[in-house]
Amino acid sequence: MTATLAKAPSSPLRWTWAVLQLVRRDLKVRYKNSALGFFWSFLNPMMQIVILTIVFRHIMGSRIQNFSMELLTCLLPWMFFAQSLNDGAVCVAKDHLLVKKYPFPRIILPISSICSNLIHLVLGFVVLLTIFLLLPVSFNIYFLWVIPLLVIQFCLTLGLVLVAATLQMYYEDIRFLLASVTQVLFYLCPMVYTVQDVMESTRVLPIWKQLYLVANPLTPLFVGYRTALLHGAEWHLLGLPGSYYSYLAISAGWAVVVLAVGLLVWRRYEWHFPEVV
């Protein structure tokens, strides 16, 4: 079928307004009637930090110095990832009334869903920088590493969300599956331990070590946030076999592949959404 829109309101850029409006709606609805508002979304990581520090640093005796700060710098991006994935999976199902009413490009739903969570991450980073003021951490140019890391993470997340949201339209299971998967994934990423711990372990087979380094595109991102924010991008201290940049390149490669697959799946199914919801 061919459809021609002769005098449609010009330029695809106009949909950025729709994204902004949807983000605004998400934030308004989420914090409506809550006296403490954004504070709640920072309290959650704080509680996690406290408990994880007690368990892994004080009880299990992790050798990571400054455990809670190390954890916080990558826990914020982690929460952005996990929350985006779980929110994103249901973003079309949640807004099925809009999908049935307006012919907007459907991709603005997952994009705005991720952007809402991105705002939380940015606010989280602002709080983090405020904490830095109290610590002997100096602000430096290496902080800017966060930007390319976020770009890679955004693409990766969007690709996964496009697939998850499409599947969710046909199988209600996806939402539940993702909730479990994200929990497991947390421990598959170097959050409460370091890459060095894995590499030096005598119980992990070399093949798994290899796989650990190249198969999880999140790993280079989280060690990246941590190193850039706390260690002035001293990548050589990471204990990685080889240069950090090559691992980051693998991560970026994954992001491109996942996003491409996500877009293909999306393009194939997006116009069926009004029929199945």
Partner 1 sequence: MGAPVVETRGLGKEFRVRHERLPSVKRLFTGLLRRFPTERLWALQDVSIAIAAGEAVGVIGHNGSGKSTLLRVIAGIIRATRGELIVRGRAGGLFELAAGLNPELSGRDNIFLSGALMGYPPATVRRYLDAIIDFSELGQFVDVPVKTYSSGMGLRLGFAIAITFEPEVLLVDEVLAVADEHFQRKAYRALRRVQQRGSAVVMVSHEMKAIRELCPRVLWLEQGRVVADGPAEEVIARYLERVGAENGA
Query: Cα dihedral angle (261, 263, 266, 270), rounded to 10 degrees?
Result: -170
**Where in 162-191 is the site for partner 1 (CB under 8 A)?**
171-173
Complex with partner 1: residue 63 or 272, whichever CB lies closer: 272
Complex with partner 1: residue 70 or 270, whichever CB lies closer: 270
274 touches partner 1 (CB under 8 A): yes
Give dist(CA 67, CA 57) in Å, integer: 7
Cβ partners under 8 Å of residue 53, min gap 6: 67, 68, 71
**Where in 65-104 is the site for partner 1 (CB under 8 A)?**
97-104
**In angstroms, what is the minimal distance from the CB of 30 to partner 1?**
10
Tokens of 248: 């980051």
Give dist(CA 238, CA 248) in Å, integer: 13
N- to C-terminal Cα separation, the chain: 22
Complex with partner 1: residue 244 or 273, whichever CB lies closer: 273
Complex with partner 1: residue 29 or 55, whichever CB lies closer: 29
Do 251 and 217 touch, CB atoms closer than 8 A?
A: yes
Residue indicated by tokens 């904490």: 131
203 touches partner 1 (CB under 8 A): no
**In angstroms, what is the minimal distance from the CB of 272 to partner 1?**
8
Which residues contact partner 1 (rule: CB under 8 A)?
A: 1-9, 14-15, 17-18, 20-22, 24-25, 28-29, 32, 97-104, 171-173, 271, 274-275
